[in-house]
């Protein structure tokens, strides 16, 4: 995939973290600059930067903004950033890598350079992981003409190119005719706002549908495969992803449509035996009751707003990582794959 397929989601320049502000898309392509840990924590919590890999990379750079720039300051930064969002394991995977650097470095004055070097390595490795997921996923989607996806697991959710969308960019650039149907993904509309934006920018045909239309679309026979990202995958292959993914997997199975999960190895949490142990982020009621400031739910009513659900491994046709494809995932296969 050539470099200009999707924009760089984030960068660290002149000692500052520069983020595409994803809350402003698709109407405005603007950046938000984080100059300290608190601003980075806020950017992750408000989904200025979002998507499991992108959250991990942003948090790694956020540690580099710690003050004071010493062991205690950096460890406090890691502790603070770990409270930004609970579900995407990539956040904790990246922070653990930064903590390892601190713990194996004695001299404070070496730390700033070593930590920035580790954050840059995490960022660079993510680019390669996404590129490899694209290559491996393309082998699965090679006969597909129309795929359905949920939320945004594209370049904006990673360093660039994405996970679920990486195979689509790979095929599109190879001249393979493929179109994407994108669930709008209530309540924050990452599909309508972000997936449709980045695919359109790349020239990939995309159609937005409301989440409730997915069943009829799958019943129509038009969809050749469903492909989604993940925020945390347990040791048995159960996968947490944006709310609405689980019912999509049930519908795909009912209509005999392959259901693929694309994620780098940094999204696996092998310490969790099953997905029911994955922490699910509960977000504010206003995201559901007052979208864009318009009241659509009476104050007297209660509101649910879990940001993720868990798809059991038995509903997943295959998991695509940067290392290859695991069909019918189970603990033994995943342990071997990630060895």
CA trace torsion 28, 149, 140, 178 (10° rounding): -60
Q: Kindly give the interhelix angle for 52-63 and 89-103, rounded to the nearest 10 degrees.
A: 30
Residue numbers 175-214 binding ligand LNRAV4D5 by CB under 6 A: 190
Considering only the stretches 93-101, 150-158, 169-177, 315-323, report the one whose residues sit in contact with ligand LNRAV4D5 under the rule CB under 6 A. 150-158
Is 50 annotated to bind ligand?
Answer: yes
Contact call for residue 66 and ligand LNRAV4D5 (CB under 6 A): no
Distance between CA 307 and CA 243 in Å, rounded?
5
Residue nearer to ligand LNRAV4D5 on the CB measure, 23 or 201:
23
Chain-centroid distance, C-alpha 204? 20
Residue nearer to ligand LNRAV4D5 on the CB measure, 151 or 226:
151
Contact call for residue 48 and ligand LNRAV4D5 (CB under 6 A): no
Residue numbers 243-302 binding ligand LNRAV4D5 by CB under 6 A: none
Contact call for residue 326 and ligand LNRAV4D5 (CB under 6 A): no
Q: In angstroms, give the least distance from the CB of 268 to ligand LNRAV4D5.
A: 13
Assess contact for 269 and 232: CB atoms under 8 A.
Answer: yes
Q: How many CA atoms lie within 13 A of 97 on its CB side?
A: 23
Contact call for residue 50 and ligand LNRAV4D5 (CB under 6 A): yes
Q: Which member of 158, 236, 289, 321 binds ligand LNRAV4D5 (CB under 6 A)?
A: 158
Q: How far apart are the first and last CA of the chain?
A: 27
Residue nearer to ligand LNRAV4D5 on the CB measure, 111 or 307:
307
Q: Which member of 37, 51, 161, 181 binds ligand LNRAV4D5 (CB under 6 A)?
A: 51
Query: Cα dist. 44→84, 236, 327 in Å?
Result: 6, 28, 32
Phi, psi for 68 (deg, rounded to 5): -75, 155
Is 109 known to be catalytic?
Answer: no
Contact call for residue 321 and ligand LNRAV4D5 (CB under 6 A): no
* Nearby residues of 283 by Cβ (< 8 Å), 6 or more positions away: 305, 306, 307
Cis ω before 26 (30° cut-off from 0): yes
The DSSP 8-state label assigned to residue 193 in this structure reads I
- Helical (H) or strand (E) element with 199: helix 196-202
Is 242 annotated to bind ligand?
Answer: yes
Active-site hit among 183, 231, 269, 309: 231
Distance between CA 13 and CA 88 in Å, rounded?
25
Q: Which member of 78, 242, 272, 329 binds ligand LNRAV4D5 (CB under 6 A)?
A: 242
Which residue's Cβ has the minimum distance to ligand LNRAV4D5? 229
Contact call for residue 167 and ligand LNRAV4D5 (CB under 6 A): no
The residues carrying an active-site annotation are 231
The residue ranges that bind ligand LNRAV4D5 (CB under 6 A) are 50-53, 151, 153, 157-158, 163, 190, 228-229, 231, 241-242, 307
């Amino acid at each position: 995939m050539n470099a200009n397929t999707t924009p760089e989601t984030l960068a660290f320049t002149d000692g500052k973290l520069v983020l595409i502000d994803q809350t402003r898309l698709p109407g405005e392509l603007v950046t938000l600059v984080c100059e300290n840990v608190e601003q980075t924590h806020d950017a992750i919590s408000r989904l200025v930067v979002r998507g499991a890999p992108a959250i991990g990379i942003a948090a790694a750079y956020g540690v580099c903004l710690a003050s004071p720039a010493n062991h205690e300051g950096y460890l406090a930064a890691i502790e603070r950033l770990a409270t930004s969002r609970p579900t995407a394991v990539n956040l904790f995977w990246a922070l653990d890598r930064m903590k390892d650097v601190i713990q194996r470095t004695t001299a404070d004055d070496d730390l700033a350079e070593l930590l920035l070097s580790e954050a840059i390595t995490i960022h660079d490795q993510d680019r390669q992981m996404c590129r490899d997921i694209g290559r491996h996923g393309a082998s699965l989607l090679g006969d597909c003409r129309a795929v359905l996806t949920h939320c945004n697991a594209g370049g904006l959710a990673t360093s660039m190119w994405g996970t679920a969308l990486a195979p689509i960019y790979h095929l599109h650039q190879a001249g393979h005719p493929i179109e994407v149907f994108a669930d709008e993904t209530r309540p924050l509309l990452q599909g309508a706002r972000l997936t449709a934006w980045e695919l359109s920018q790349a020239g990939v045909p995309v159609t937005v549908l409301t989440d409730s239309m997915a069943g009829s679309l799958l019943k129509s026979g038009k969809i050749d495969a469903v492909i989604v990202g993940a925020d945390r995958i347990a040791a048995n292959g159960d996968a947490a992803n944006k709310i609405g993914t689980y019912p999509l997997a049930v519908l795909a199975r009912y209509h005999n449509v392959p259901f693929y999960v694309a994620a780098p190895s940094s999204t696996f949490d092998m310490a969790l035996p099953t997905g029911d142990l994955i922490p699910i982020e509960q977000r504010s009621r206003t995201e559901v009751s007052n979208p864009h400031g318009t009241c659509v739910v009476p104050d007297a009513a209660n509101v649910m707003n879990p940001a993720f659900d868990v798809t059991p491994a038995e509903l997943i046709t295959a998991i695509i990582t940067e290392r290859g494809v695991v069909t019918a995932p189970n603990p033994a296969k995943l342990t071997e794959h990630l060895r």
